[in-house]
Amino acid sequence: MNTYRAFRVTIIALLLTAGLGIFAVKPPPAAASAEVCQQAALGMIVCVEVKGRGGYVREVWGKVIATGPKLKNPGVICNYATKVRISANGNQHYATYENRAPKEQCGLMGGAYNIVPINRTFPKGSYVCTTFFIDGNVQRGSEKCIKLT
């Protein structure tokens, strides 16, 4: 009987350990954001990052990274704005958002960014399309879109 009990305790311990192992190696949920970058004029890399989950968009980041030596100086990338357009299949328009840096505000050494708060749910499959501007309304890079899945 003691052998049976020891065997039973061992089996239970193994099952519990195996069960915990399954939970320990289970990957975390997929990241709730997506980012796309492109090379732009004057040695800039322009990036768009959508933060949210599924059809919910918490915020959109418009970023410019200065790679050219001239642009790495503070005060070169100024008066920047991020414009966001959300639509379904590029046709049905849902909303437009914009965030502009305060007039005469310049990015730091290496680049600049804007955060556009959205806090809204859109139908899955919608597109979040974003454009980054500097010096008022000078577009940097083309409009980039990220599909909500």
Give the start-to-end residue ranges of the domains of the chain.
33-147
From the list 91, 99, 78, the residue with the least C-alpha distance to 145 is 91
Give 42's contacts (C-beta < 8 A, 6+ positions apart): 68, 70, 71
Give the DSSP H or E segment for 19. helix 2-25
Please state whether the predicted TM-score (pTM) of the whole model is above 0.85. Answer: no
44, 98 in Cβ contact below 8 A?
A: no
Contact assessment for residue 57 and residue 148, using Cβ atoms and an 8 Å cutoff: yes
Residue pLDDT tens, the chain, 149 long: 454 444 443 444 433 343 433 333 333 333 457 888 888 877 788 899 999 988 899 999 998 887 766 655 666 778 888 999 999 876 788 899 999 988 778 887 778 888 999 999 998 889 999 988 887 777 887 888 898 88
Residue 125 parent element (H or E): none
Fold classification of 33-147 (topology level): Immunoglobulin-like (2.60.40)
